[in-house]
Amino acid sequence: MHIPNIHFNHNKTNQAELEIIDLSEVNRRNHTTHTPSQPHRVTFFMLIFIEQGSGYHWVDFKQHSFQAGSIIFVQREQVHAFDFSNNPQGKILMFTQAFLDKVHTNMRLPNYTPTHLNHLQSPILTLDDQNNRRTKTLIEEMTTEIGLEHRDPLIVMYLFCSLALLHRRLQPKENLAALSQTQSQKFARLFELLQSNFQRVRDANWYAQQLAITYKTLNQICKIATNLTAKQMIDAFTIIEIKRRLVVSNVTSQQLTYDFGFDDASNFLKYFKKETGLTPSQFQKIHTTPVL
């Protein structure tokens, strides 16, 4: 099965790089490129706020239960799928790295880090009544400002920052990354380099050279952001992409050996088993495409 790549519609937002839509609208839309309830990859960030209903959201081989008051974080490049079986209601915030770069330029906001690379992290945050109301109010204010003829991008950014900081405070303390602005910029560029080069380069020193920093500095940034070393993060990034292709695209080990630049199939099998404890075929048997 092919994984559709869903891109951000820059023209629709007039290059504002942020869009807020009703969850029900995604369910109602006549989609020509993909089915939202089937696995698809997004090239942007998503924050899904569940106001009513319950169900499961599928993110990179795991089903996570949600309920009213849940926040679902989907990182760019993740493969995910919606569950509309119980007709959940809520809002979806979609935003790009370009939007986050503008935010970081204008105000202090901790970087959105790929915490999904650490298998101990969950994409679900459950809000209490007070923070549920505050989240709803902030999203409503953002939606109102975006809809104004003479909207002010800074007001939208400040509201977004308020929302992000509110949710950040509710995260378990060990999940919080305390990157400086410079470190955040380096980490964002590292993620972009990984997306372009992970199939051919898994050497942390090479990425450090591209960023014009030392391996020690790169390692420190990765540890703060994901609680993983640079090497562990690169391997986690690589493995999760291999998993996506094994399960959703049903690619053979021989093809993956070639695609990821391994010398032979045995080296690929050793690498995958070392990181997962399973052979590729065992992983494929355990994980099947969800029917949501």
| Percent of the chain scoring above 90 in pLDDT | 37
Q: How many CB atoms lie within 10 A of CB 190?
A: 25
pLDDT band at 15 (very low <50, low <70, confident <90, very high): low
Residue bearing the bigger pLDDT, 14 or 138? 138
Angle at 251 between CA 246 and CA 195, to 5 degrees: 70
Residue bearing the bigger pLDDT, 292 or 283? 283
Q: How many CB atoms lie within 10 A of CB 98?
A: 15
Residue in the structure block whose two tokens are 């023209």: 11
pTM score, two decimals?
Answer: 0.74
Which fold would CATH assign to domain 183-286?
Arc Repressor Mutant, subunit A (1.10.10)
Yes or no: domain 5-175 corresponds to CATH 3.40.50.300: no
- The domain ranges of the chain are 5-175, 183-286
Residue bearing the bigger pLDDT, 38 or 66? 66
- Lowest-confidence region among 13-22, 31-40, 43-52, 204-213: 31-40
Task: Give yes or no for residue 55 having a pLDDT over 70.
Answer: yes
* Structure tokens, 138: 């902030």
* Cα–Cα nearest to 41, from 74, 10, 81, 77: 77
Q: What is the pLDDT of residue 113?
A: 54
| 79-81 sheet: strands from edge to edge | 5-6, 40-42, 79-81, 55-59, 62-66
Q: Which residues of 219-255 are buried (b: 16+ CB within 10 A; e: fewer)?
A: bbbbebbbbbebbbbbbbbbbbbbbbbbbbeebebee
| Percent of the chain scoring above 70 in pLDDT | 87
Residue bearing the bigger pLDDT, 273 or 247? 273
Q: What is the pLDDT of residue 47?
A: 93
Q: What is the pLDDT of residue 91?
A: 96
> For residues 261 and 224, is the Cβ–Cβ distance under 8 A?
no
> For residues 248 and 289, is the Cβ–Cβ distance under 8 A?
yes
State mean pLDDT over 252-266. 88
Helical packing angle, 215-226 and 230-248, nearest 10°: 60
- pLDDT tens across 120-174, in order? 567 888 999 999 999 999 999 999 999 998 889 899 999 998 998 888 888 766 5
Concatenated DSSP letters of 159-182: HHHHHHHHHHHHS-GGG-----HH
Q: What is the pLDDT of residue 175?
A: 47
Q: Measured in whole angstroms, how far is the alpha carbon of residue 32 from the centre of its chain?
A: 23
When the pLDDT of each residue in the chain is averaged and rounded to a whole number, the result is 84
Identical fold, 5-175 and 183-286: no
**Residue 4 DSSP symbol:** P
Tell me the sheet residues that pair with 41.
Answer: 5, 79
- Lowest-confidence region among 157-171, 175-189, 205-219: 175-189
- pLDDT tens across 262-289, in order? 888 899 999 999 988 989 888 888 775 4
Task: Give yes or no for residue 42 having a pLDDT over 90.
Answer: no
